[in-house]
Structure 1
């Protein structure tokens, strides 16, 4: 059986250097790290997880908290997280944080205290004060996506996102602009839908356009919800443009317009938010929030926090977003 001594001899380094190179703890030159990895690969050597944990005090595992296991957004973020952590030798333990108070209490007071993870990454979760304190008491790095948070957090400015979407429609010449938002029951955690609605109205006010009033309908972040909301808007009166608070609802609005015999963007322009994987397929203009890159960025922040020689991550950092203009928006006729 291949041992750590065999890897050290082949790589021309000490066994301590092999250990540091493979467990990611301590300083190792990039050249030595690569020689160790090449030697380990050539010899088929895999470090014992339990032995490595005992020697380094690390489990090589990061706990990831998510509100939902399904959903394309969380899947895209997790893709970036797991890809980055795996490239650096870390496994992931996934925790689905439900809305049930007792289950959440068990998670924060029991499961996370078993010291099976080296760090925690919370994705799009508004944490209660006791949950924040429980994470801080673990004594390990904690990074969050979404905010505001009382933790080191990475977040998109939802107000600015909505302003950009509305300003795009206003810049094209639209004045009869409708909005598809979300009901409070599904707009949990950071009230993303409410913040996007507020940004949308602020952009209209800044442009001297009266607030839409009856030109607002409520969806539920789904394609079907967007379809129903758009049908309601079209029945209520003339609309030349729609800003939907998610790409999925925007896709539903696209179909509702077409079923009503309206051309997109000839009769109605539509813009969404998120950067959904199907936005390009539907030729949808969207504000892309780069969810997979969000996961990579958050995982990199966790890795920096685990690096003893790296500076502490910022308390808050802004994530990028950009308007991706496609064929669903055009000037009004």
Structure 2
């Protein structure tokens, strides 16, 4: 039995019951693919269900306010995906008469859709003969065919793409693409795969040469930058606070946050208080400072490690643009700030 047929047979017996596999609607499949980028299925599933429920058509998503989209996305991370999702929906409605594309050549032109996502949507919606390449597929192909090229080198993708195209079943790209990704997610996992029960054990080159744990090869390491965030949580005489939209490009764009004082290192309590006095005392009559030591956290992102402190600052005034506790619940925040609000404003 060929490699592709073996995977399809395995898939038909072992596939998970997932809602996006029960439709050929390219809009719904697109939602699932964007949500599942850099996200485990278990985490992404409730978000998918929420988006389909709130935005059953591309028109609904296009007509939504960005803050509503970001609020539903809250906690999923990589927020540029949500902004691109919203922008693409608007483009489809405004420029394509609300008809969501189904072919690779059409899909690849849309914002936030790369080669993998275009291939996935095209094959799953109209069975277009295009091979998908995601992390799971790289791993399965690298191990089974003993491809020892470094994935951190750009030219390696062409090698894998050529191999993926060669073994793609012409008449059943849809099932095969699902099968190889599912096989990588459930059987040929990154760490400690159970090769003793693998249907491909007899023909897997990595298993034969004892290379399962070293393939695929990816030598380039991500440089992580440390940043130090000191959030100032104002509280006025009516228990209202201040938040604002983070408009600069980078992490958390268009999400909301408390006034931020970023420093070059972790600060002592006295240093924090001095910094806040220098920054805000000319604007507010400050009566008390409290460094909330029970919520000092390290928040890890793909390229950054955020060291975050929250400082409660009481002011002897009523904030003109103050936000009530109830209003905070409707605003999209980064999950770390959302969790803080849940603890300290509930």
Give TM-score, length-normalised by structure 1: 0.21
Q: Which has the higher strand share?
A: 1
Give TM-score, length-normalised by structure 2: 0.20
